[in-house]
Structure 1
Amino acid sequence: MAHNEKLALLIVLPSLLAGCTSAQMNMLTGKRNKTYNDVNAPWVGSTEEQLISKWGPPKKSYTLESGAKIISYEDMWGPISAYHVCVEKFMIEKGIVTKWGISNCPTRIKGSLPKDTPIPQPTL
C-alpha cells in the first residue's frame, strides 16, 4: 500500500468508525454490551449485608411465610414525559442472596463483556 493510501485510510477510518453504534463496535472488537442481568446475577451467594452495603437500603422489602425476604430497588430511566421504573429484586434466604429478577429495565448499561459471555437469566 502506497504512503498516500495509508494516509488516506488513517484519515477516513476514524470517521467511518465514529458512525458505528456501540453494538457494531462491539462486533468489531469481539465484545457484547453489558446488561442488567450481568450486574445482578453475581450477587447470588453474597450476604444480604454485602448487597445492602453496596446498594444502600432497599426501596421495598417483603418477608415470606418461610422467613425468606424479597427486597427490591427501583430506578427511574428515560425521558421525564415517558419515564420507566426499573425494578431489581433479590430473594434473601437465611441471610444469603439466592435468586434475582428484574423488570422494566433498559436492555443494556455502560460497559461491555467478551462476546461469548452468556447473558445470565433471572431466577426470580
Structure 2
Amino acid sequence: MVGLFMKKIQLRSLSLVAIIILLTGCATPSTQKYDMMLNQWLNKTELQLVSYWGAPDKSYTLGNQQFLSYYSRYNEDIPNVSENYQPFFINGLPDYDPVLENVNYQIVPEVCKTTFTIEKGVVVAWNHHGAGCIAN
C-alpha cells in the first residue's frame, strides 16, 4: 500500500517538473527582461510600434497578417588574459599569485531579430531569435 502511494507521489512530482519545464520554455534569465519588454507591445497599434521602434528592417504580409522584423546588434567584449604566476612565500611555504599579462579583448557581435505580428493594425504576437536579444 505504501509502495503504491509513493509511486503516485513520484508520478505527480514528475508531472509537476514537466509542466514547469514546458511553462519556462526557451526563456533564459538573460532574455526574460527582453520578453517582458516585448509583452508590453501586445495590443498596441502598429502606429505606436513604428513610432517607437522606427521603420522595420523587413516586412511581410500574408493574408490578414503583417510581420515587422527589426534587427539589432551589439558587441560583447570578452577579455583574453594571459597569466604568469609569480611565486612568493607565506609562513615559509611557497604560494603563487597570478600576474596578468597581455590583457586584450575579443569582440563578439551579438545579433537579435525581433518580429512582431500585426493583425487589423494591432500587435498580436512577437518572437525573437539570436543571442543579442537582451533588454538594456
- Which of the five TM-score ranges fits, normalised by the shorter chain? 0.5 to 0.7
How many residues are aligned here?
Answer: 78
Tell me the TM-score normalized by structure 2: 0.50
Structure 1: which 5+ residue stretches go unaligned?
Answer: 1-31, 111-124
- Specify whether residues 107 and 74 from structure 1 end up closer, same or farther in structure 2 by C-alpha distance, changes over 3 A only: closer
Partner of 1:61: 59
Percent of aligned pairs sharing the same letter? 33
Structure 2: which 5+ residue stretches go unaligned?
Answer: 1-28, 77-105
**Cα-to-partner distance string for 1:20-73 (whole Å, 9 max, x where unaligned):** xxxxxxxxxxxx876210111111101000100111100000101x22100011
**Between Structure 1 and Structure 2, whose CA radius of gyration is higher?**
2
Tell me the TM-score normalized by structure 1: 0.55
Instruction: Give 1:27-106 correspondences, 5 Å limit.
Output: 35-64=33-62, 66-79=63-76, 81-106=107-132
Asked which structure has the greater RCO (Cα within 8 Å, sep 6+), the reply is 1
Please tell me the root mean square deviation across aligned C-alpha atoms, in Å. 2.3
Large movers: runs of 4+ above 3 Å:
105-108
Contact 1:36 1:105 in 2 (8 A): no
Structure with greater proportional strand content: 2
